[in-house]
Structure 1
């Protein structure tokens, strides 16, 4: 189960599963409480969905008492239309080798996002400031993959 995959062998107080329907998709929410090795109580919220007999889920982990398995994120699940699927462009991680003249701006402009490209690039590569890139350095960018079929 999704919960066991997250908790492993950690003991937990598991609540009662609650049936739900999210945008026409049958779902079940579950809340569990466990303790970290340092003794801090943590909650795990799972929202599992049944789409054409295939299971999908969101898992949210946070401080005890602060989670709600019906977070807006979990309510965003919906079945995509064939047209939406056909228009999807998957993203993939690409490793690039810095060449002479490459900058954060030039490499980040290749990112598959319409906004915050430089910020996303720096976060992905753990670059804290605008610094000169070193030729030969390998960095990550997110690009579009082949269109869905």
Structure 2
């Protein structure tokens, strides 16, 4: 898949970073699990396994407002991704990305990319003074091209929020700011062409933001790497589909185990899978 080119925007220099504890995310797909580090960071993937890496890295570089977001520590006690869902048990919230989106945690944000690269999203946290309205924040200059007339104060599942649209040369944006406790979270959606689908994707994702229940908080935990022995009848497809909470399981299984596109596993091989 050719490398996608994603939008850039500039942040207002005077924006202060949020507290480092405010949102800390751990990627729980194989490419960011700490063990085994050699597979995640040093092994060269085959050509057939590069599309997810290219989309994620391109988006991470492109959708990056400067100096307004907190760092996300990579500890299992913090937030993590499960398929299209992001959960943060410590802070007590969750949201779900649209169908056909792949979520990826970066050092500064949770990034989502639609298959094909025609849409992207970013979720991050900023510090906004309590006395400043969210509508005023959206129009404060941290993002270029915001249409002030489009700014609207709204409520999302009981939380105060505001939305606005913005236009760039090649991308259309829908931006939301939502106040949760003492922090403000941003959803930034980008589409090459505004459509009913892109508008629905943005709206449904933001509306999925909610508090976690006590049961969900207690049950939430990151994924882990497990090493198993290949048994008679096992294939890449059968083994990869045992991996719970992982999108594109066959491709991620190949990346995790350094397998080429057409390579197959053999009986008694030791392979890595993602497990609860």
Fold similarity call, TM over 0.5 = yes
Higher relative contact order (CA 8 A, sep 6+): 2
Q: CA deviation at 1:19?
A: 1.5
Alignment of 1:1-149 (within 5 A): 4=10, 6=63, 12-16=144-148, 17-35=151-169, 41-66=170-195, 67-68=198-199, 71-91=203-223, 94=225, 103-113=235-245, 120-124=248-252, 125=254, 131-133=263-265, 141-144=273-276
Shift in alpha-carbon separation, 1:64–1:120, aligned structure 2, 3 A: closer
Q: CA RMSD in A?
A: 3.7
Q: CA deviation at 1:23?
A: 0.8
SS at match of 2:155: strand
What are the ranges of 5 or more consecutive residues in structure 1 without an aligned counterpart?
36-40, 145-149
CA distance in 2, matches of 1:59, 1:103: 39
Summarize deviations over 1:18-41 as a string: whole Å, max 9, x none. 221111011121221112xxxxx2
TM-score, normalised via structure 2 length: 0.37
What are the ranges of 5 or more consecutive residues in structure 2 without an aligned counterpart?
1-8, 12-62, 67-142
Shift in alpha-carbon separation, 1:25–1:8, aligned structure 2, 3 A: closer
Shift in alpha-carbon separation, 1:30–1:95, aligned structure 2, 3 A: farther
Shift in alpha-carbon separation, 1:64–1:128, aligned structure 2, 3 A: farther
CA distance in 2, matches of 1:52, 1:30: 22
CA distance in 2, matches of 1:28, 1:142: 38
Structure 2 contact 226–275 (Cα < 8 Å) conserved: no
Q: CA deviation at 1:76?
A: 1.0
Moved over 6 A (4+): 126-130
CA distance in 2, matches of 1:55, 1:142: 33
- Structure richer in strand, relative to its length: 1
Q: CA deviation at 1:106?
A: 5.0
TM-score, normalised via structure 1 length: 0.61
